[in-house]
Amino acid sequence: MGAESRLPLQPGEAEGVASANVLDVANIEVIYNHVILVLKGVSLSVPEGAIVALLGANGAGKSTTLKAISNLLLAERGEVTKGKIHCRGERVDGLTPNDLVRRGVIQVMEGRHCFGHLTVEENLLTGAFIHGRRRQQIADDLEKVYHYFPRLKVRRASQAGYTSGGEQQMTAIGRALMSRPNTILLDEPSMGLAPQLVEEIFEIVKNLNEREKVSFLLAEQNTNVALRYAHRGYILESGRVVLDGDAADLRENEDVKEFYLGIGGEGRRSFRDVKHYRRRKRWL
């Protein structure tokens, strides 16, 4: 299966594509509906075995970046018009989502998107679609998912539409695991969840990263949590990467503190001043 195979660099491929990276995104531009320019040259890379956080406000382009990689963009009439995306040195822009899942890159969409009328277990099994009829392997993987998410085992026969938000998020991640991915593109796992659950989900992400060697590229608005669990971070603003670095450095960065963590600065200021300050320091 494509999941394990590492294709050699094609002759003429862009140089500087480090083989240690599972994903290399180079300067991509994305246009929706032929007119709306959403990403204006985003570059990032996900090293093998890393958790990389993609941070930014609403509409900054986090989800679009993930969808550009998994190529779910096409279904929303979006298009990568410039730039290149490599997966382990192989050019993957223009492939279908199915091709990417076969290469071990799978997206967990924002808002969970469970199959509401299927049971939790059926939801998980759909994740093994690309593995065809290998019953033993699928049964083993199912047990593994239940090991990481014991709560899903209890709820296995419930219709996914009637489970809680946290259980749906677990179902969505578990479903992705069933495809035996090496990279998961995780979009807003914290959305609409209680802080305690957010923490639980991120603990599982960390576990999967350490034990199953799954790399993560996760888009998050919850900068605080994301930077605690990630190794690296990229900050997007209006479709551009404005800052990137090790998660520890980003946590200490004054601007990140000010804009995203809300803890920086010199005491209280009036809202008007904040807005003014923010406008002046905008990275553009």
Partner 1 sequence: MGFFLEVLIGGLLAGVLYSLVALGFVLIFKASGVFNFAQGAMVLTAGLALVRALDVFEQWHWPFGLALLSAFAFAAVIMAIIAWMVERLVLRKLVNQEDIILFMATIGITFFLEGLAQTLFGADVYPLNVGLPKDPIFLLESLFDGGILVNELDIWAAVAAGLLVAGLALFFQRTRIGRALRAVADDHAAAQSVGIPLNQIWFIVWLVAGLVALVAGAVWGSKLGVQFSLSLLALKALPVLILGGFTSVPGAIIGGLIIGAGEKLAEVFLGPSMGGGIEIWFAYVVALLFLLFRPQGLFGERIIERV
# binding residues, partner 1 (CB under 8 A): 40
77 scored as a contact of partner 1 (CB under 8 A): yes
Q: Which two tokens stand for residue 98?
A: 């199915």
Site residues (CB under 8 A) for partner 1, limited to 142-161: 159, 161
> Would you tell me how many other CB atoms lie within 10 Å of the CB of residue 279?
8
Q: Shortest distance, CB of residue 127 to partner 1, whole angstroms?
A: 5
Q: Which is nearer to partner 1, 172 or 235 (CB)?
A: 172
Helix-helix angle 195-211:135-148, to 10 degrees: 130
Fill in the per-residue mask, 183 to 222: x = in contact with partner 1 (CB under 8 A), - = not in contact. ---------x------------------------------
Question: Binding partner 1 by CB under 8 A: which of 40, 84, 113, 206?
Answer: 113
Count CA atoms closer than 13 A to 276's CA, side-chain side.
5
**180 touching partner 1, by CB under 8 A:** no
Q: Distance (Å, rounded) from C-alpha 154 to C-alpha 157?
A: 8
- Contact (Cβ atoms closer than 8 angstroms) between residue 232 and residue 52: yes
Pairing type for strands 215-220 and 21-32 reads: unpaired
* Interatomic CA distance for residues 246 and 125, integer angstroms: 36
CB of 272 to partner 1, least distance (A): 34
Q: How far is the CB of 78 from partner 1 (least distance, A)?
A: 10
**Residue 188 burial class via C-beta count within 10 angstroms: exposed 0-12, middle 13-18, buried 19 and up:** buried
Instruction: Give yes or no for residue 168 binding partner 1 (CB under 8 A).
Output: yes
126 counts as binding partner 1 under rule CB under 8 A:
yes
Task: Work out which of 3, 31, 130, 242 binds partner 1, going by CB under 8 A.
Answer: 130
185 or 227: CB nearest partner 1: 185
Torsion of CA 241, 247, 248, 254, to 10 degrees: 30
Contacts to partner 1 by CB under 8 A: 70, 72, 75-77, 96-98, 100-102, 106-109, 113-118, 122-123, 125-127, 129-130, 132-133, 159, 161-162, 165, 168, 175-176, 178-179, 192
